[in-house]
Structure 1
Amino acid sequence: MRPSSLRQYLGSETLPPCQEQQPKTNAELDHKVCYLCHSLLTLAGVVVSCQDITPDQWGELQLLCMQLDRHINTHIRESPHAMHRTRLKDLAAQTYVRWQELLAHCQPQAQYFSPWKD
């Protein structure tokens, strides 16, 4: 799930009563979104690491890697005031590398041309 989609969903749930609380609410919402993304990414990393990758799952893991790179690494801006974003990007980078190593070691067997098969 993209952090921006999660932020939009959570933002529509809680509407602040006055404008004074807007910056605090945005900061809290940003922290909550990063926390949820961090939790989901940690869970996904544990699940993927616990299983052997089958040829069918190889393509799905490759797609997950592309989405992880696109949605988390490129769409989250780091800030010295928001270390939770940096931690999320670090976890995403570590997970991406780990999954790329899994993909490299578990490449599906190529189906070779067999003249004996019809």
Structure 2
Amino acid sequence: MRPSSLGQYLHAETVPSHQEQQPEASARLDRQVCYLCRSLLILAGVVVSCQDITPDQWGELQLLCTQLDRHISTHIRESPQAMYWTKLKDLATQTYVRWQELLAHCQPQAQSFSAKDG
């Protein structure tokens, strides 16, 4: 879901290699990348929030939070001309906070070995 990876993929799919990318096409591609990132983030948020987190899934959600922070929150370039990126970054931050709260609430408990001693 890294924006730069999606941009490279979409660029390769839509623009033949011998053509230079014009500013309008570049702006359109930029909006498409942002829209895809937003859609994937919303979908991931819905999937995560509609199920109970098992101890096995806890580690996976923790990894997903790390990836979200690394690839979305820190690599999005914000600018007054492209407010859609700012909105995506806000959504990523809100999702990250919700997932961190879910992780804290569903944190796997350490097994108590003293209960087995008795």
- Provide Cα deviations, 1:41-74, integer angstroms capped at 9, x if missing partner: 0011011110010000000000000000000011
Tell me what 2:73 maps to: 73
Normalising by the residue count of structure 1, what TM-score does the alignment of the two structures yield? Answer: 0.91
Output the CA distance in 2 between the equivalents of 1:5 and 1:33: 9
Q: Offset at 1:95?
A: 0.2
Runs of 4+ in 1 over 3 A off after TM superposition: 16-19, 112-117
Output the CA distance in 2 between the equivalents of 1:100 and 1:5: 25
Q: Please give the root-mean-square deviation of Cα atoms over the aligned residues, in Å.
A: 1.7
Q: Offset at 1:114?
A: 5.2
Output the CA distance in 1 between the equivalents of 2:112 and 2:43: 36
Tell me what 2:84 maps to: 84
Q: Offset at 1:76?
A: 0.6
Letter of the 1:30 counterpart: D
Normalising by the residue count of structure 2, what TM-score does the alignment of the two structures yield? Answer: 0.91
Output the CA distance in 2 between the equivalents of 1:70 and 1:63: 10
Output the CA distance in 1 between the equivalents of 2:53 and 2:12: 38
Unaligned runs of 5+ in 2: none
Output the CA distance in 2 between the equivalents of 1:116 and 1:103: 27
1:58 equivalenced with 2:58 (yes/no)? yes
Output the CA distance in 1 between the equivalents of 2:97 and 2:30: 25
Tell me what 1:105 maps to: 105
SS in 2 for 1:107: coil
Q: Offset at 1:112?
A: 3.3
Give identity over the alignment, percent: 78
Tell me what 2:44 maps to: 44
